[in-house]
């Protein structure tokens, strides 16, 4: 778990347990009750996040959308699993959540997108209504206090979600439910096409992360048939070629994509890293020079990306800087979530260690 995750969870536990002990020792103390209620409210918020995301999932299914992944929290991944055909990921700091959904049909696209977004806040609203009804049918003072806290936690989650703003989640800029609901009715046709295009990318990635490379490629090629020379989809096809060991073919594709003058900065960085990866796997001396320059640029721009650190580590090892390269390779392997890729990484690191006479 990350240090931030440990700090957050430790603070929640201290506030909740400390407040509870204080309340038991001094039931009439208002400050003790306030601290306990604050800790309980935070715990309730953490429970409400998955329920909110389930609202998005249900609404997406009702509008014939696809669900590609659900993430609860931010920070390092603590647990991930496929369930209902959806990738669920639980992270160290459970203060927010987001669901990746998509619709391939342009028909009523804005309405489908609006209803999918509305599903999350609607869950919080319905929970508030249920809790208010319970207030008038329960007489226990302590249970009434818990219900009131439940209402407060839901109202806080509802207001926070409907606050129109852009949100930075681990380097990915997205919009809150409130801002999405305000802007979706006025979404341009080009923006709709861009989101449908990303739907093919996410669907293909679902197969890619399971190492079903041919299935992933089939989805990407279907997307290309719809969107012609989509840079995003072609970039994913190149990644499939890399993992299939078709390094020259992959490099040729990435080099052509890199010539596009309209690439976003993040896409350009991603393509440079892919070229560097292909270069180092091909292994020709002149290509290693290019790989060294590209991987250095990539890591300087996005040092937090473990995939980029792995590429840089490969380059350094190939160029003879074994210790520096191994440090980056091990760091990337430790933070790799995909078990298959982690095993491949571990095997390569072991091979390098053996060659330098320091077997792990």
Please tell me the predicted confidence (pLDDT) of residue 231: 92
Q: What is the mean pLDDT of residues 59-81?
A: 86
What is the C-alpha to C-alpha distance for residues 350 and 331, in angstroms, rounded to an integer?
14
Residues 225 and 331 grouped into a single domain = yes
Distances (CA, A) of 347 to 285, 329, 360: 24, 11, 10
Confidence of residue 184 (pLDDT cuts 50, 70, 90): very high
Q: Last residue of a domain, which of 145, 167, 186?
A: 186
Based on its alpha-carbon atoms, the radius of gyration of the chain, rounded to whole angstroms, reads 24
Q: What is the mean pLDDT of residues 87-107?
A: 84
Residues 153 and 197 grouped into a single domain = no
Residues 210 and 274 grouped into a single domain = yes
Residues 194 and 306 grouped into a single domain = yes
Please tell me the predicted confidence (pLDDT) of residue 237: 95
Confidence of residue 16 (pLDDT cuts 50, 70, 90): low
Q: Is the pLDDT of residue 353 over 90?
A: no
Q: Is the pLDDT of residue 335 over 80?
A: no
Structural domain range at position 317? 189-355
Residues 207 and 333 grouped into a single domain = yes
**23, part of any domain:** no
Q: Quick one: what percent of the chain has pLDDT higher than 70?
A: 82
CB-based contact 162:124 (threshold 8 Å): no
**24, part of any domain:** no
What is the C-alpha to C-alpha distance for residues 188 and 198, in angstroms, rounded to an integer?
16
Please tell me the predicted confidence (pLDDT) of residue 15: 57
Please tell me the predicted confidence (pLDDT) of residue 156: 81
Please tell me the predicted confidence (pLDDT) of residue 174: 82
CA 23 to chain centre: 39
Judged by average pLDDT, the poorest of 3-17, 185-199, 248-262, 284-298 is: 3-17
Residues 195 and 343 grouped into a single domain = yes
What is the C-alpha to C-alpha distance for residues 342 and 336, in angstroms, rounded to an integer?
6
**8, part of any domain:** no
Most confident residue range from 8-17, 148-157, 185-194: 185-194
Judged by average pLDDT, the poorest of 17-31, 77-91, 192-206, 210-224 is: 17-31
Q: Is the pLDDT of residue 164 over 80?
A: yes
Residues 173 and 203 grouped into a single domain = no
Provide CB contacts within 8 A for 322, sequence distance 6+.
316, 352, 356
Other C-beta atoms closer than 10 Å to the C-beta of 113 total: 24
Please tell me the predicted confidence (pLDDT) of residue 73: 78
Confidence of residue 32 (pLDDT cuts 50, 70, 90): low
What is the C-alpha to C-alpha distance for residues 276 and 293, in angstroms, rounded to an integer?
8
What is the pTM for the complete model shown? 0.80
Q: What is the DSSP string of 101-151?
A: EE----TTHHHHHHHHHHHHHHHHHHHHHHHHHHHTT---HHHHHHHHHHH
**4, part of any domain:** no
Coil, strand or helix at 84: coil
Please tell me the predicted confidence (pLDDT) of residue 359: 45
Find the CATH number of the domain harbouring 324: 1.25.40.10
Residues 208 and 346 grouped into a single domain = yes
**32, part of any domain:** no
The number of CA neighbours under 13 Å toward the Cβ of 266 is 5
How much is the mean pLDDT over the chain? 83
Residues 218 and 150 grouped into a single domain = no
DSSP strand pairing (86-102 vs 172-175): unpaired
Residues 306 and 193 grouped into a single domain = yes
Residues 330 and 257 grouped into a single domain = yes
Other C-beta atoms closer than 10 Å to the C-beta of 357 total: 6
pLDDT digits (tens, 9 = 90+) for 43-58: 677 788 889 999 999 9
Provide CB contacts within 8 A for 85, sequence distance 6+.
67
Query: Domain tally for the chain?
Result: 2
Q: What is the mean pLDDT of residues 267-294?
A: 91
CB-based contact 4:92 (threshold 8 Å): yes
CB burial string 287-302: b at 16+ within 10 A, e below: bbebbbebbebbbeeb
What is the C-alpha to C-alpha distance for residues 46 and 40, in angstroms, rounded to an integer?
10
Please tell me the predicted confidence (pLDDT) of residue 216: 94
Please tell me the predicted confidence (pLDDT) of residue 5: 43
**360, part of any domain:** no
Higher pLDDT pick, 93 / 23: 93
Residue ranges of alpha helices (H) inside the chain are 3-25, 30-62, 109-135, 141-162, 177-183, 189-208, 213-227, 231-243, 247-258, 265-282, 285-301, 306-318, 322-334, 339-355
Please tell me the predicted confidence (pLDDT) of residue 36: 59
Q: Is the pLDDT of residue 6 over 50?
A: no
Q: Last residue of a domain, which of 186, 217, 232?
A: 186
Q: Last residue of a domain, which of 186, 209, 241?
A: 186
For residue 168, with 0-12 CB atoms within 10 Å meaning exposed, 13-18 middle and 19 or more buried, which class applies?
A: exposed
- What is the end-to-end Cα distance of the chain in Å, rounded? 24
Higher pLDDT pick, 76 / 118: 118
**285, part of any domain:** yes
Residues 276 and 163 grouped into a single domain = no
Q: What is the mean pLDDT of residues 178-192?
A: 94
**273, part of any domain:** yes
């Amino acid at each position: 778990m990350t240090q931030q995750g440990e700090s957050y969870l430790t603070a929640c536990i201290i506030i909740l347990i400390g407040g509870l002990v204080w309340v038991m020792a001094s039931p009439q103390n208002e400050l003790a009750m306030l601290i306990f209620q604050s800790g309980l409210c935070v715990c309730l918020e953490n429970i409400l996040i998955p329920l909110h995301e389930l609202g998005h999932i249900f609404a997406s299914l009702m509008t014939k959308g696809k669900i590609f992944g659900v993430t609860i929290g931010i920070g390092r991944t603590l647990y991930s699993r496929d369930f209902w055909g959806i990738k669920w990921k639980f992270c160290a700091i459970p203060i927010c959540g987001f669901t990746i959904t998509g619709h391939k049909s342009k028909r009523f696209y804005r309405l489908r997108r609006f209803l999918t977004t509305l599903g999350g806040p609607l869950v919080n609203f319905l929970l508030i209504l249920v809790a208010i009804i319970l207030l008038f049918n329960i007489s226990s003072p302590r249970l009434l206090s818990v219900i009131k806290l439940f209402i407060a936690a839901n109202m806080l989650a509802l207001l926070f979600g409907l606050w129109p703003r852009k949100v930075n989640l681990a380097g990915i800029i997205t919009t809150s439910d409130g801002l999405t609901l305000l802007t979706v009715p006025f979404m341009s046709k080009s923006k709709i096409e861009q989101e449908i295009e990303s739907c093919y990318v996410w669907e293909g990635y679902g197969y890619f992360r399971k190492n079903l490379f041919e299935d992933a490629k089939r989805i990407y090629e279907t997307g290309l048939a719809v969107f012609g020379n989509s840079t995003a989809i072609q970039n994913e096809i190149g990644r499939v070629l890399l993992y299939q060991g078709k390094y020259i073919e992959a490099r040729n594709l990435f080099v052509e994509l890199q010539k596009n003058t309209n690439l976003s900065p993040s896409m350009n960085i991603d393509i440079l890293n892919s070229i560097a990866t292909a270069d180092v796997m091909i292994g020709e001396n002149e290509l290693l020079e290019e790989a060294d320059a590209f991987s250095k640029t990539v890591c300087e721009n996005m040092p937090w990306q473990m995939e980029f650190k792995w590429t840089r580590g490969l380059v350094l090892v190939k160029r003879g800087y074994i210790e520096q390269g191994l440090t980056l390779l091990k760091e990337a392997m430790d933070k790799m979530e995909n078990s298959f890729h982690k095993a491949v990484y571990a095997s390569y690191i072991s091979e390098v260690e053996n060659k330098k006479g320091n077997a792990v």
